[in-house]
Amino acid sequence: MAQIREIKLRMKAVANIKRITRTMQMIATSKFSRAQMRATASKPYTEGVFDLVRELSARAGNISHPLIEGTRAGAKSPEIVLVLTSDRGLCGPYNGSVLRTAMPYLRAKSEAPRLTEIVGRKGLGVLKFNKFTIAAHHAEFGDNPKFDDVERLAQRYMDEFTRGEISGVKVVYMRFLSTARQRPEMLQLLPLKPPAPAEGEETAASVEYEFTPEPKKLLNDLLPVTVKTTLYQCFLDAVVSEHVARMVAMKAATDNAGKMGKSLQRTFNRARQAQITTELMEVISGAAALE
């Protein structure tokens, strides 16, 4: 009797867990749909800015800009490594993949020191546990990063880079390629490298543009915009990848809870049948003893 009671309690607990994971899966699916729309809607603009910078670079010839070359004073200045993780867990290997990409680089020896900045409480806890010194923790972004907040962070990086206070900025994040594929990457944000044409691609644009003012003057406005939009795209990709990972993890947990519930139901049926058989045998034995 005690075994049957324990099995029923486990069945109830598994059913409650299944309801919770199914709800979390539905929430993650809803958030993923919105985040995917934002990430995919911004990509054409980000890619268009890069294409325009490429065209202007070809027109302007040799480019000389503080965001590309930096300053001599910043050659030995520290480098900032920005790591984008999540605030909440239950998202499968998402945070682990990002941190496994970041930590070997942070541990590697280099001539210039590295300053580690982190987004997300999960990454903060792991890096502190591994004795990394955290220069800054950005808690203002959350699940719905605003362009104004990202713009302020990008502007701070550009100001420090042009003053020679830092030698560069790298961003470690999960790049969203498709619903079935996300890849952790380390992106060099500063110094900014104008995108080179692919092998075999002609440097001339398919559409002939007339630029006013001159390309060199336009680059002074476009390069800061490129840095801001690139960093914003990193944040959007990180958010949509997090929701994908949580959606997949919660679906797997829901399926496993369903399988466990069926297994417990079969175990309960066998135990109940054994109990009924034992009770019948006791009744028959008692009746036979009275004869």
Ramachandran bin of 195, using left for φ above 0, alpha for ψ from -120 to 50, beta for the remaining angles: beta
Q: Is residue 96 part of a domain?
A: yes
End-to-end CA distance of the chain: 29
pLDDT-derived band at 290, boundaries 50, 70, 90: confident
User: Under a CB-based contact definition with an 8 Å cutoff, are residues 281 and 21 in contact?
Assistant: no
In a domain, 271, yes or no: no
Higher pLDDT, 132 or 275: 132
Residue 290 domain flag: no
Residues 6+ apart with CB under 8 A from 59: 211, 215
- Residue 189 · residue 173 · CB < 8 Å: no
Q: What average pLDDT does the segment 240-262 reach? A: 94
Q: Pull the structure tokens for residue 204.
A: 């001339």
Residue 14 lies in a domain: no
Residue 62: predicted pLDDT: 62
Structure tokens at 188: 């060099």
Report the pLDDT value the prediction gives residue 4, as an integer from 0 to 100.
86
Q: What is the pLDDT of residues 43-102, one digit of tens each?
A: 888 888 877 777 776 666 666 777 877 766 666 789 999 999 999 989 989 999 999 999
| Mean confidence (pLDDT) of the chain | 86
DSSP 60-74: H-S---HHHH--GGG
| 257 inside domain | no
pLDDT in tens, 7-54: 999 999 999 999 999 999 999 999 998 898 988 888 888 888 877 777
Query: In angstroms, what is the C-alpha Rg of the chain?
Result: 29
The pLDDT value recorded for residue 72 is 65
What is the distance between the alpha carbons of residues 143 and 246, in angstroms, rounded to a whole number?
A: 13
**What pLDDT shows up at residue 203?**
44
**Residue 59 maps to a domain:** yes
What's the structural domain count of the chain?
1
Partner residues linked to 69 by β-bridges: none
Q: What is the pTM of this model?
A: 0.83
According to the model, what pLDDT value does residue 202 have? Answer: 47
pLDDT at site 129? 94
Whether residue 285 is contained in a domain is answered as no
The CATH number given to whatever domain includes residue 193 is: 3.40.1380.10
Count the residues in the chain: 291
Q: Give the three-state DSSP class for 137.
A: strand
Let me know if residue 259 belongs to a domain: no
Which tens digit of pLDDT belongs to each residue from 175-212? 999 888 999 999 999 987 754 444 444 444 455 666 67
Token reading at 30: 């809803």
Domain hosting 179: range is 22-246
Exposure string over 139-166, b if 16+ CB within 10 A, otherwise e: eebeeebeeeebbebbeebbebbbebeb
